[in-house]
């Protein structure tokens, strides 16, 4: 079963035919909300809003362990993380859809592993490629099949939040090699790897990062919501094509009827 974690701009999955909701308890506490389970194109899909259904949980207080554990425990075979980002790279603009391939972690103080001592042995994961490339490739093919441009390849910088970055901080991120900046990519991706859950991301550019483009003198918050709502409609279409191709057991670029 494919699981979708929705971020800012995607607190519901409107093309999901909901069958039921499950309130979940985990060994790590409560996830961000009830799991919404239903179907898209006749295939089971699970949805969880990262920030809660009222968008009340800030990035640094999301219970990432409980979220990933709950999805895995309820049969998820792969996770697509949807998140809004700020664009650092010059060719990216608000409304663009980006499929990141690498992560840099600037967060701090977040519980970030299932293996944190006690009776649990120390466990190291290979995180050379932080996203599952098979799932990444399927998402890219689904976007192409839907006729939607999704820019392939970007380095995602995960910052602490909830405040946005200063222009100087964005300059540092650019020097480090980051292309986009967000607040929720870590430890989510690493936890999925620890638990053996294929994980990939769809990023939506909500704005230019601080000091860049239209944000050169500051972030214009009133412009973010319209951009996100339009772009998230395209994200839902990509997800529908992805699930449709899975239901037909053929590549997304040849699936019909999506």
Q: Which residue in the block uniquely carries the two structure tokens 């890219």? A: 140
DSSP state string for 56-79: ---GGG--HHHHHHHHHHTT-SEE
Q: Which two tokens stand for residue 74?
A: 């309820």
CB atoms within 10 A of CB 246: 20
For position 248, what pLDDT does the model report? 57
Q: Which residue in the block uniquely carries the two structure tokens 């909300």? A: 33
Pairing of strands 155-158, 180-182: parallel
Domain map of the chain by residue range? Answer: 2-254
Tell me which of 29 and 11 has the higher pLDDT. Answer: 29
| Confidence check: pLDDT of 79 > 50 | yes
Q: What is the mean pLDDT of the chain?
A: 91
2-254 sits in which CATH class? Answer: alpha beta
170 contacts: CB under 8 Å, gap ≥ 6: 86, 88, 181, 209, 210, 211, 212
Going by C-alpha positions, the residue among 72, 102, 76, 56 that lies closest to residue 203 is: 102
For position 9, what pLDDT does the model report? 61
Going by C-alpha positions, the residue among 140, 183, 135 that lies closest to residue 163 is: 183
Q: Are 5 and 203 in contact (CB under 8 A)?
A: no
| Confidence check: pLDDT of 257 > 70 | no
Query: pLDDT of 91-109, one tens digit each?
Result: 999 999 999 999 999 999 9
Q: Which two tokens stand for residue 39?
A: 């179907």
User: Cα-Cα-Cα-Cα dihedral of 93, 99, 101, 105, to 10°?
Assistant: 60
Q: Which residue in the block uniquely carries the two structure tokens 């859950």? A: 197
Confidence of residue 192 (pLDDT cuts 50, 70, 90): very high
Q: Which two tokens stand for residue 203?
A: 């990023």
Tell me which of 10 and 239 has the higher pLDDT. Answer: 239
């Amino acid at each position: 079963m494919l699981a979708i974690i929705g971020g800012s701009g995607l607190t519901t999955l409107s093309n999901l035919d909901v069958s039921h909701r499950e309130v979940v308890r985990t060994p790590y506490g409560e996830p961000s909300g009830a799991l919404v389970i239903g179907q898209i194109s006749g295939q089971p899909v699970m949805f969880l809003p990262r920030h809660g259904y009222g968008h009340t949980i800030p990035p640094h207080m999301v219970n990432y362990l409980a979220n990933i554990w709950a999805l895995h425990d309820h049969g998820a075979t792969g996770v697509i993380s949807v998140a809004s980002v700020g664009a650092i790279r010059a060719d990216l603009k608000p409304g663009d859809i980006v499929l990141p391939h690498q992560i840099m972690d600037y967060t701090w103080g977040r519980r970030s592993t299932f293996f944190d001592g006690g009776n649990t042995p120390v466990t190291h994961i290979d995180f050379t490629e932080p996203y599952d490339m098979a799932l990444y490739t399927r998402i890219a093919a689904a976007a192409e099949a839907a006729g939607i441009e999704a820019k392939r390849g970007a380095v995602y910088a995960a910052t602490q939040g909830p405040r946005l970055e200063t222009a100087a901080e964005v300059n540092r991120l650019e020097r480090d090699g980051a292309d986009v900046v967000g607040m929720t990519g870590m430890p989510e991706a690493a936890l999925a790897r620890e638990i053996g859950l294929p994980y990939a991301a769809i990023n939506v550019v909500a704005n230019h990062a601080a000091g860049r483009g239209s944000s050169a003198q500051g972030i214009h918050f009133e412009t973010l919501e319209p951009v996100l709502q339009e772009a998230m409609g395209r994200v839902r279409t990509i997800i529908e094509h992805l699930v449709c191709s899975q239901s037909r057991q053929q590549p997304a670029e040849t699936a019909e009827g999506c």
